[in-house]
Structures are given as C-alpha cells and as structure tokens.
Structure 1
Amino acid sequence: MFNRVFLVSLLAASFSSLAAGDKIYTDISGTSFSHPLINGQVATASPPVVWKPLSNRALLAARLPPRSPKFVESLVAKRRPSAVDAISGTATIIVKDENGATLGFVGKELTDFDTFPITQDSTLALTVTVVPSPDPTSDFVDLKIPGQPADTSFVGLALGAAGAAFGKGNAAYGFMGPISESTTPDSDTNNVGGASESQIWTLNPSTLVLSALWRGESGDPIPLTLFADGTFGDLDFAGDLTAFVNKFGDFVQKVTFVLRPN
C-alpha cells in the first residue's frame, strides 16, 4: 500500500478518502476548482509551491550529474542507459523543468488527493517498471508499480472536472495517480478522479524521455503537457495548459519526465 504525505503545513484541510463519484469541485460560493474539496473545504497551498532545481550537492547525493562546474561533471559517470536497461528492471522518474534542470523525482508518497507529487529526496522516489504494449505495432508502454494491488498498480491519468476533450482551447486536464491498467478510458472507480487510462506513455529509447498522450474512445492520440500544480502540490496533465490556467487560475510549472534505471 502507498504511504501518504500530509501537507498539513500547506493545505487547509485534512484528507478524507472519497470515491470518484463523490468528489466536489465547487465551493458554496459557486467557485470551481481543479482539485476536489476535502471535507467541504478548499485545500490549497498558500503560498503556492514553487519547485526549484536541486543543488549540486543534492544531485550528487542522488547519483545525478551536477549542473556545474565542468570539472566536477567529469568526475561523474556519463554512461547513458540504453532502452534495454530501462525496461529490464526497475526505474525512477526524474522531473525536469523547461530548461532541463532537475527539480526532483516523482514521489511515492501520495498527496491528500491520491495524486503523485514531486519529491526532492531520492529515497522517496516512486519505483516503476516499464511494460511494453502486447500489441507489437504499438509504441505505448505502461508504468507498473511493483507490489501494488491491481486497482492501483499503474501510473496513469484520471480525468479532472473539465471533461475529456483534450486539445487546443480546451481546459480538460487529468490527475497523475495510481490507477488500474487500461488502454482506453476506464470508468472503474478510483480514488484519484474520473475515468482513467494507464497506457498513455511513450518512451524515447535514446533520451529515456517519457511523453504522455490521451487515447480517447476514437481518433488519434492527443499529446499532453505534464505540469506541476503548485496550488495543490501535485503532478497533472493538460491538453492546453494555457486554457487550463485561464479556467482555474492554478500556479503551474511545465515539466518533463526522464526515466532513470535503478
């Protein structure tokens, strides 16, 4: 089972587990939020969480190359794991900002919303295995979480409160959380959000960069933007991040994921 990280110092309410159908996203004044209310209260971070790049000391402690100086970089092994390495064992997921600086890792301790956060402690990084699609013509993979029950054993997207019409001009978004396996939207109840989908990931074999695409009931897969939501302290997906921010007003940081074999 997952441990939970309680953001008591940041959030306005304590956690209460809710079934997806019971989640409420609008307060008594009629204001809509991207994340569900907890015990009838809006649970936001104040001020918003701003993730800053790891220091060189923290990078070295996590066995990652430092940003500078150059002579220190030469002391760190530069071997880039191959895709075979990446899928033959367990791995963690490095979270980088738009400039390629490392912010931390996808954390294994869930937020109050049953979503994955960023952790800057490598010992608290989520461990996954890469599971290729059984369809030999597909480039999609699953990210499986070892040791979890079937209904929470995959890293994927659970729909938020703005529907599934991902794309330009639409505020549709999803939470990143532990869900069941699916290649199309699955309506099975989960603790994260609405209908969920796990096989949304593709892996670049050269860079080990993970990308996410929503696979709807019909049509082509839609590219998703990965982002850290500083207002609610977790990791999420959007089809149009600007449209999402315009609708909900969350403080966000666009991020990228890079797989790191253990």
Structure 2
Amino acid sequence: MRLSSVFLVFAVVASAGLGKRIYKDGYSRQSSPSLSDDKVAAGYQQIKPLSNAALLAAGLPPKSPKFLQDGIFKRQASRVELAPRQAVSMTPLALPFMAHMVVKDMNGLALGFISQTLNGYYQFKFITDITKAAIFTVSSTTGFVDIAVAGQALPFIGIGLGPGSKGNRFGPGNAAWGYITIVPSSWYEVAGDFVGSGESTIWQIDPWTLSVTAQWRNFSVSVPLIIFTEGIAGLSLTADLQAYSAAFPTQTVQPVTLSLLPI
C-alpha cells in the first residue's frame, strides 16, 4: 500500500509538469550519453565537481589547476611532444571485481559517486562521500552485462520504466524515460522491480577505460540511452533528452557519464 501511494503521488506530480520547453545541448555522442545538435544548452544544470580533497580521498587524481582547465595557459608543443608514440598496453582487470561507480559531467570531471541509499522513489542518487557509495560487482565486460549491487532488496542496478513510459517507445522524439534503480535479472522488459517493469542487462563496460554506458534492449533492437540527473536527487535514463525536457519543462537536467572505480 505504501509503495502504491508513493508512486501515485509521483505520477500526479509528473503529469502536472507537462508543458513546452526545448532542451538543446552541444554535445554529440554515439552511445550513452547520446546527444545531438550543435546548439547552446537551455535548461542545463551545472553541478559543482568534486574538490581535489574529495578526489584524493577517493583515490582519484586531482583536477588540473584552474588556468589549465580553462585553457588560459597555452604554448607551442615541441616536435618531440608531437611525435607518434606507441600505444600503451593495458591489461583489463581480472573478473569478477568490485567497484564504486563515479558520476562525471560531460567534461569528465567527477561530480560524485552512486549512493548505497536509494531516494524515496527507489532511484539511485549520487553523493560526494565515497564512504557511503554503493558497491558493485562486475562479472563480465563482454557485450551487454548485468552489474550486481550489494546490500539491496533486488540484486542488480538497471532501468525501471517511469510512469507512462514503455520500453518500445524509446527513440528520437519520444520522452519515454526510466529510473536507474534496483531490478531483478532480465535482458528484456519484465515486471518485478519497485518501480514497474524494466531491465537489468542494459550496461556495456569498456574493459580498458571502465566507462559504463546504457542501451534499452528489445529483443533484436537496442536503443542508446542518455544518463542524466535532476540535481543530485536521482539518476535517470532517456533516449531523447530534448523530448524529455519538452515534456517536463519544470525539470532542470544535466547529462552525465558513469565509470567504474575498482576497490
């Protein structure tokens, strides 16, 4: 009864926000996030990146000095620096491995870590304190994979479809969306999570960079999904952020990326 009441209230609030606003963003990517149109963003929320102290505490490298980030300091590269270099050979981590998940902005700056605590809609949010970050287990980096999460009522992190959304509607021009939430194991749309129906086997992991991207899977069709946040309240997914923002004009969104931080 409590769950039904929570989601009924949310559905009413979400439907009340329908209106007209166009979200435009200058980033263009082929996978999650996957935005298009070389235009200035409207309705874009800039969340402050983690401080160097927080980065170092998490075992991450500090940010460059501000003048280097802004490109103020410039010089001509030498011929030695411009000379071709042999690619560095990297060995992917042995499987399985455990990791935290880092939330980054579109410039690659860390904003925080996915929290071990869900919000009131059973949605993953992110925090700046790594000691409170969720712990994930990666058992495969080949193809689409499940990513297990510790200490939750359901075993995997995945997508739970938002009120009024259906998986077969994901695509250009459609505002279909979903929560990043806890789900049972599934490579196609099934019911059984706290939100409604969803999928767990949506993730792809680059074994060298450990970047994590998402796609909605519908048997033979896969649709790249954009990971985004509305403040630090929660993490969501959609195939068309412009359409989502037009449907929910009161929401100020920011596209983000995810990557794994082994522990």
Quick one: structure 1 residues 80 and 212, their matched pair in 2 at CA, closer, same or farther if it must change by over 3 Å? farther
Mapping of residues 1-262 of structure 1, within 5 Å: 16-18=2-4, 25-27=11-13, 31-32=16-17, 51-69=47-65, 82-85=91-94, 87-132=95-140, 139-149=143-153, 152-161=154-163, 162-164=165-167, 165-188=169-192, 190-191=193-194, 193-216=195-218, 218-230=219-231, 233-249=233-249, 250-262=251-263
What code does the residue aligned with 1:129 have? T
Cα offsets for 1:123-168 (capped at 9, x unmatched):
01110001338xxxx601111013444xx11000000123221111
What code does the residue aligned with 1:260 have? L
Q: Which runs of no fewer than 5 residues in structure 2 stay unpaired?
A: 19-43, 67-87
Indicate if the aligned counterparts of 1:93 and 1:258 stay in contact, CA closer than 8 A: yes
Structure 1 residue 118: deviation in Å? 0.9
Structure 1 residue 21: deviation in Å? 7.7
Q: Which runs of no fewer than 5 residues in structure 1 stay unpaired?
A: 1-15, 34-47, 71-78
User: What TM-score does the superposition give when structure 1 sets the normalisation length?
Assistant: 0.73
Indicate if the aligned counterparts of 1:56 and 1:68 stay in contact, CA closer than 8 A: no
Q: Tell me the number of residue pairs that the alignment of Structure 1 and Structure 2 aligns.
A: 213
Taking CA–CA contacts closer than 8 Å with sequence separation of 6 or more, which of the two structures ends up with the larger relative contact order? Answer: 2
- Secondary structure at the residue paired with 2:221? coil
Indicate if the aligned counterparts of 1:49 and 1:233 stay in contact, CA closer than 8 A: no
Structure 1 residue 206: deviation in Å? 1.7
Q: Looking at CA atoms only, which structure, 1 or 2, has the larger radius of gyration?
A: 2
- Secondary structure at the residue paired with 1:245? helix
Q: Which residue of 1 aligns with 2:77?
A: none
Quick one: structure 1 residues 142 and 66, their matched pair in 2 at CA, closer, same or farther if it must change by over 3 Å? same
What percent of counterpart residues are identical? 35
Indicate if the aligned counterparts of 2:205 and 2:211 stay in contact, CA closer than 8 A: yes
User: What TM-score does the superposition give when structure 2 sets the normalisation length?
Assistant: 0.73
CA distance in 1, matches of 2:159, 2:205: 16
Q: Which residue of 1 aligns with 2:23?
A: none
Quick one: structure 1 residues 105 and 21, their matched pair in 2 at CA, closer, same or farther if it must change by over 3 Å? closer
